[in-house]
């Protein structure tokens, strides 16, 4: 007689420890609640930061006025720092060094109604980095605005300061085709003439495939370098034209410009014939991929090197919205760039000084006057 088979235990649902199973119907609602919480926390953090920078501003103003009126000597600030540390140990951040930094913050930006409101939108650490590393007022404003716009963390701000972004932007503004400025006037503030790809750790000699793979592998850093509004669409993006397949190196979308951005990579010097292929890709994107509500696609040729005069000639009659940029895999020589910037400002000031004053315009006599 056969023994009856034992019934198998019911199959249990495998649940990964720490993972919460959410019914699909509720998932969207839960995401909305979490989004509300995150936004509220961000607003609270911003409010606290604003109050903190306001406090440092007022303390800096108080110290500055006392010193300017000779009511205090420099040694009094030391005594103040010691008094706060001993009598109020719960009040952190008011060392002698920080108190003088607060004074410097106030004296640097007082009277600048355009820039001073920006200070409240950044952390004290961000403000100190810009204050200590930037010598020119326009340089400080540049980094303040860009750090806010791009939402740079401390590490990225440090990287851009070390990479002399301000000097590079002033000395080498992007050269774009006429259609770029006609269709997207804001594009000149989005794109750069040079992109720093020091995070790729590529050998001196590398192929386009190696460059593309390295950019995709380090996509987060590449997006930071491109800018906050860039989103990644795909690599080796296939375009079908006339029964043939063509592959675009990298495709992005820019939310601010509301358009696709095609990037073609070149590991050698820019050649005018490179534009023909890029324009072909842009035409295919606009005919077959672009959505009706989106603007015309913009193309970027990212080359290892370029001659600015050759680029200007090539783009002057280009029929598509395109630009040519250069990538660098090593940090530039900041001291050399600063020297060039100093020379640039001197030449600009000299040109303004040499400009003859306009001749006075004779006023027309009123009709009927003698």
Looking at 91-95, 133-137, 220-224, 351-355, which range is the least confident one?
A: 351-355
| Complete DSSP assignment for 282-312 | HHHIIIII--TTSEEEEEEEEEEE--HHHHH
Question: Is 70 exceeded by the pLDDT of residue 366?
Answer: no
Structure tokens at 229: 């509004």
Model confidence at 283, pLDDT cuts 50, 70, 90, reads very high
Query: Stretch 181-187: mean pLDDT, rounded?
Result: 91
More confident residue, 275 or 354: 275
Model confidence at 356, pLDDT cuts 50, 70, 90, reads low
Structure tokens at 255: 């939310």
Which strand ranges, in their side-by-side order, compose the sheet holding 322-328? 194-196, 322-328, 295-305, 259-269, 244-254, 230-241
Supply the pLDDT for residue 13: 43
Q: How many CA atoms lie within 13 A of 105 on its CB side?
A: 29
Q: What percent of the chain has pLDDT over 70?
A: 88
Q: What is the C-alpha to C-alpha distance for residues 2 and 208, in angstroms, rounded to an integer?
A: 71
Supply the pLDDT for residue 280: 96
Asked if 333 contacts 310 with a C-beta cutoff of 8 angstroms, the reply is: no
Which stretch, 36-45, 236-245, 354-363, has highest mean pLDDT?
236-245
Distance of alpha carbon 20 from the chain centroid:
37
pLDDT, tens digit, for every residue of 42-54?
788 778 889 999 9
CA angle at 211 for the pair 168 and 166, rounded to the nearest 5°: 10
What is the reported pTM?
Answer: 0.76
116-124 long-range Cβ contacts below 8 angstroms, 24+ apart: 118/144, 118/145, 118/148, 119/53, 119/57, 119/144, 120/49, 120/50, 120/53, 120/54, 121/46, 121/50, 121/148, 122/49, 122/53, 122/147, 122/148, 123/49, 123/154, 124/49, 124/52, 124/53, 124/56
Query: Stretch 284-290: mean pLDDT, rounded?
Result: 96
Q: What is the C-alpha to C-alpha distance for residues 334 and 347, in angstroms, rounded to an integer?
A: 20
Query: Stretch 145-163: mean pLDDT, rounded?
Result: 93
More confident residue, 47 or 148: 148
Asked if 298 contacts 259 with a C-beta cutoff of 8 angstroms, the reply is: yes
Supply the pLDDT for residue 1: 52
Beta-bridged to residue 323, according to DSSP, are 176, 300
Mean pLDDT estimate for the chain: 87
Supply the pLDDT for residue 220: 94
The phi and psi torsions of 67 (rounded to 5 degrees) equal -70, -40
* Strand-strand pairing, 244-254 and 230-241: antiparallel
Under DSSP, the state recorded for 113 is T
Question: Is 70 exceeded by the pLDDT of residue 260?
Answer: yes
pLDDT, tens digit, for every residue of 72-122?
887 999 999 999 999 999 989 999 999 999 999 999 999 888 999 999 999
Supply the pLDDT for residue 37: 86
Model confidence at 264, pLDDT cuts 50, 70, 90, reads very high
Asked if 193 contacts 325 with a C-beta cutoff of 8 angstroms, the reply is: yes
Q: What is the C-alpha to C-alpha distance for residues 93 and 97, in angstroms, rounded to an integer?
A: 9
Question: Is 60 exceeded by the pLDDT of residue 131?
Answer: yes
Neighbouring C-beta atoms of residue 216, cutoff 10 Å = 15
Supply the pLDDT for residue 337: 78
More confident residue, 137 or 29: 137
Supply the pLDDT for residue 137: 93
Supply the pLDDT for residue 12: 45
Query: Stretch 254-282: mean pLDDT, rounded?
Result: 96
pLDDT, tens digit, for every residue of 19-33?
567 677 777 887 888
Tokens 């987060």 sit on residue:
220
CA angle at 251 for the pair 247 and 256, rounded to the nearest 5°: 155
Tokens 């060039």 sit on residue:
340
Q: What percent of the chain has pLDDT over 90?
A: 66
Asked if 226 contacts 254 with a C-beta cutoff of 8 angstroms, the reply is: no
Asked if 176 contacts 162 with a C-beta cutoff of 8 angstroms, the reply is: no
CA angle at 324 for the pair 191 and 217, rounded to the nearest 5°: 70
More confident residue, 40 or 45: 40
Give CA separation, 368 vs 231, 363, 364, 365, in Å.
68, 15, 11, 8
Under DSSP, the state recorded for 19 is P
Supply the pLDDT for residue 369: 45
Asked if 173 contacts 343 with a C-beta cutoff of 8 angstroms, the reply is: no
Beta-bridged to residue 325, according to DSSP, are 302
More confident residue, 336 or 8: 336
Query: Stretch 277-303: mean pLDDT, rounded?
Result: 96
């Amino acid at each position: 007689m056969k023994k009856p088979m034992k019934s198998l235990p019911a199959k249990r649902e495998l649940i990964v420890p720490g993972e919460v199973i959410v019914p699909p119907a509720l998932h969207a609602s839960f995401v909305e609640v979490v989004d509300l919480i995150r936004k509220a926390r961000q607003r609270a953090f911003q409010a606290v930061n604003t109050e903190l920078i306001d406090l440092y501003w007022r303390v800096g103003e108080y110290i500055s006025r006392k010193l300017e009126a000779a009511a205090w000597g420099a040694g009094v600030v030391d005594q103040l720092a010691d008094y706060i540390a001993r009598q109020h140990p719960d009040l952190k951040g008011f060392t002698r060094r920080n108190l003088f930094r607060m004074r410097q913050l106030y004296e640097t930006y007082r009277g600048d109604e355009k820039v001073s409101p920006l200070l409240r939108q950044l952390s004290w650490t961000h403000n100190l980095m810009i204050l200590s590393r930037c010598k020119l007022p326009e340089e400080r404003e540049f980094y303040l605005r860009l750090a806010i716009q791009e939402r740079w963390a401390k590490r990225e701000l440090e990287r851009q300061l070390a990479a002399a972004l301000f000097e590079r932007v002033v000395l080498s503004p992007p050269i774009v085709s006429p259609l770029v400025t006609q269709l997207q006037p804001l594009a000149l503030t989005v794109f750069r003439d040079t992109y720093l790809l020091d995070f790729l750790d590529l050998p001196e000699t590398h192929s386009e495939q190696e460059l593309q793979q390295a950019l995709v592998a380090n996509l987060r850093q590449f997006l930071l370098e491109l800018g906050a509004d860039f989103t990644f669409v795909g690599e080796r993006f296939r375009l079908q034209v006339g029964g043939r397949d063509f592959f675009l190196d990298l495709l992005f979308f820019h939310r601010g410009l509301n358009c696709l951005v095609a990037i073609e990579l070149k590991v050698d010097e820019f050649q005018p014939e490179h534009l023909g292929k890029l324009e072909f890709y842009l035409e295919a994107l606009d005919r077959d991929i672009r959505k009706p509500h989106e603007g015309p696609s913009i193309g970027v040729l990212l080359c290892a090197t370029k001659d600015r005069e050759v680029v200007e000639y090539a783009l002057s009659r280009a029929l598509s919205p395109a630009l040519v940029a250069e990538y660098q895999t090593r940090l530039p020589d900041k001291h050399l760039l600063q020297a060039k910037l100093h020379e640039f400002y001197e030449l600009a000031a000299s040109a303004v000084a040499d400009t003859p004053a306009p001749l006075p315009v004779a006023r027309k006599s009123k009709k009927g006057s003698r």
